[in-house]
């Protein structure tokens, strides 16, 4: 695990632990700290130790600068935005580190920055093939983090719907920024008619079906060992990066279309195109946690008033104010509807109308999934790529000629 990954991981874990403290869960806080200490002892990693020290210093500075934010006293939307921006910032640093490492390897030099393994999270198809391989007893050592991160994201869908999309996804956040930029110049909400919206939403499920077909039928189990030992798979991350950095004409047209969709409609990419959104949407039907409206407290039934603030706040255009429970596959558990509701007890995210969770708890689930599980897989020896640097250097020289 590189220093950037270690700092991000330990900062997130310490932040999660501090949230338990500020929420008054002292027992949970002590368990979290003891778990972090145990992980440090088991790992016996100098990098992880440095990461913990840096994480603690950063958290202290963050608390000094924005105490309310660290103590979780801020509003739901501020908490979610802050968390998303921190994740995006960490990913940008990872991207810089990865670029420096790859450019130096390509130039035939020994890199002074190690390759961050978390970049393998951007290889979902490789991750899917690896998970299939694991079920057949084949463990890939080139990009283990791809399988780990894919499994983690799927797990979040089972537990808390599309909270990964609403609380963590960097692409979703960038899409939101582009959409807001467009709204500064063109104020109108350019929504497609309902009859068109549904077929457009199905595109992401078709893309998911294509990916699943590739993983399930395009790669028989017998072929997995030769695939994971192939040159292509060993530098799959570089091939993915080149796909974006040296796009073909078709890829450029696709990027332009995605750009138009993202700026035209809020969460357009998540709603219409993202295969991750599709699989999480399907898994979300199994999640016990849902947005639930309590009609005993809702202003509509309790006071006979007109109110649709929750519906108007929803970026996914879900009609919330007439439903008892939101089952929609588009719900990202972002809790904007809860934040907008003027009656505290009327709307919540939880197991039932009376057992709802705070935004801080949702964030803690996402932190636990995205950071505790990678730490566990690192301790189990299944996180760092075992591809030798020399092999990567040699393969990088002929990356353009390496195909499937
Ligand atoms: S229903 Fe609420 S939690 Fe779900 S996407 Fe809409 S605003 Fe977010
Ligand atoms: S915003 Fe709250 S009070 Fe208003 S309709 Fe929605 S749940 Fe009811």
Instruction: Evaluate whether 374 touches 155 at the Cβ level (below 8 Å).
Output: no
Cα dihedral across residues 271, 259, 173, 245: positive or negative: positive
Atom 4 in ligand 1: residue holding the nearest Cα: 331
- Below-50 pLDDT ranges, the chain: none
Helix (H, G, I), strand (E, B) or coil at 396: helix
Helix (H, G, I), strand (E, B) or coil at 347: strand
Q: Quote the ligand 1 centre to 334 CA distance (angstroms).
A: 5
Q: Is the CB of 215 under 6 A from ligand 2?
A: no
How many Å from the N-terminal Cα to the C-terminal Cα in the chain? 28
pLDDT attached to residue 307 = 93
Ligand nearest to the CA of 350: 1
Report how far residue 144's alpha carbon sits from residue 319's, in angstroms, rounded to the nearest whole number.
41
Q: Quote the ligand 1 centre to 251 CA distance (angstroms).
A: 32
pLDDT attached to residue 404 = 64
Ligand 1 site, CB within 6 A: 291, 313-314, 316, 318, 320, 326, 331-337
- 196, containing H or E segment: helix 194-216
Instruction: Evaluate whether 281 touches 330 at the Cβ level (below 8 Å).
Output: yes
Instruction: Evaluate whether 270 touches 328 at the Cβ level (below 8 Å).
Output: no
Bridge partner list, 58: none
pLDDT attached to residue 403 = 67
- Cα 134 to chain center, whole Å? 22
Report how far residue 132's alpha carbon sits from residue 390's, in angstroms, rounded to the nearest whole number.
28
Q: Is the CB of 182 under 6 A from ligand 2?
A: no
Atom 8 in ligand 1: residue holding the nearest Cα: 334
Q: What is the CATH T-level fold of the domain 288-358, as seen in this structure?
A: Alpha-Beta Plaits (3.30.70)
Q: Quote the ligand 1 centre to 162 CA distance (angstroms).
A: 10
Residue whose C-alpha is closest to residue 332's, from 261, 264, 276? 276
DSSP label at 330?
A: T
Instruction: Evaluate whether 9 touches 59 at the Cβ level (below 8 Å).
Output: no
Atom 4 in ligand 2: residue holding the nearest Cα: 307
Residue whose C-alpha is closest to residue 231's, from 80, 394, 50, 37? 394
> Where exactly are the structural domains of the chain?
1-74, 77-282+361-401, 288-358
Report how far residue 187's alpha carbon sits from residue 280's, in angstroms, rounded to the nearest whole number.
31
For the CA of 337, the closest atom of ligand 2 is 1
């Amino acid at each position: 695990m590189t220093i950037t990954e270690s700092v991000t991981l330990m900062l997130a874990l310490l932040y999660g632990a501090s949230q338990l403290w500020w929420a008054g869960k002292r027992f949970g806080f002590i368990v979290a700290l003891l778990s972090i200490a145990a992980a440090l002892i088991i790992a016996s990693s100098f990098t992880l130790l440095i990461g913990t020290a840096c994480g603690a210093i950063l958290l202290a500075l963050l608390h000094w600068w924005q105490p309310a934010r660290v103590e979780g006293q801020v509003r739901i939307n501020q908490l979610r935005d802050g968390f998303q921006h921190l994740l995006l910032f960490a990913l940008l640093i990872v991207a810089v580190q990865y670029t420096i490492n790859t450019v130096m390897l390509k130039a035939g030099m020994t890199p002074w920055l190690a390759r961050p393994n978390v970049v393998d999270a951007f290889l979902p198809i490789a991750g899917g093939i690896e998970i299939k391989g694991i079920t057949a007893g084949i463990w890939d050592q080139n990009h283990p983090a791809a399988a780990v991160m894919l499994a983690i994201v799927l797990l979040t869908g089972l537990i808390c719907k599309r909270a990964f999309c609403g609380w963590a996804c960097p692409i979703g956040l960038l899409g939101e920024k582009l959409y807001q930029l467009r709204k500064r110049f063109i104020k109108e909400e350019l929504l497609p008619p309902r009859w068109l919206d549904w077929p457009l939403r199905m595109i992401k499920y078709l893309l998911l079906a294509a990916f699943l077909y590739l993983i399930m039928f395009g790669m028989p189990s017998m072929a997995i060992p030769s695939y994971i030992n192939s040159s292509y798979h060993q530098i799959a991350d570089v091939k993915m990066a080149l796909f974006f950095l040296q796009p073909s004409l078709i890829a450029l047209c696709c990027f332009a279309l995605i750009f138009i969709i993202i700026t035209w409609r809020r969460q357009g990419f998540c709603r219409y195109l993202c295969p991750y959104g599709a699989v999480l949407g399907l898994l979300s039907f199994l999640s016990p946690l849902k947005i639930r409206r309590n009609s005993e407290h809702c202003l509509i039934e309790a006071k006979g008033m007109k109110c649709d603030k929750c519906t108007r706040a929803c970026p996914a255009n879900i009609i919330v104010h007439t439903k008892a429970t939101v089952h929609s596959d588009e719900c990202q558990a972002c809790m904007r509807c809860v934040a907008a509701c003027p009656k505290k007890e009327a709307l919540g995210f939880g197991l039932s109308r009376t057992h709802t969770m705070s935004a801080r708890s949702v964030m803690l689930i996402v932190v636990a999934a995205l950071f505790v599980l990678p730490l566990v897989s690192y301790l189990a020896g299944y996180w760092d790529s075992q591809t030798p640097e020399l092999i990567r250097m040699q393969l990088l020289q002929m990356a353009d000629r390496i195909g499937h």
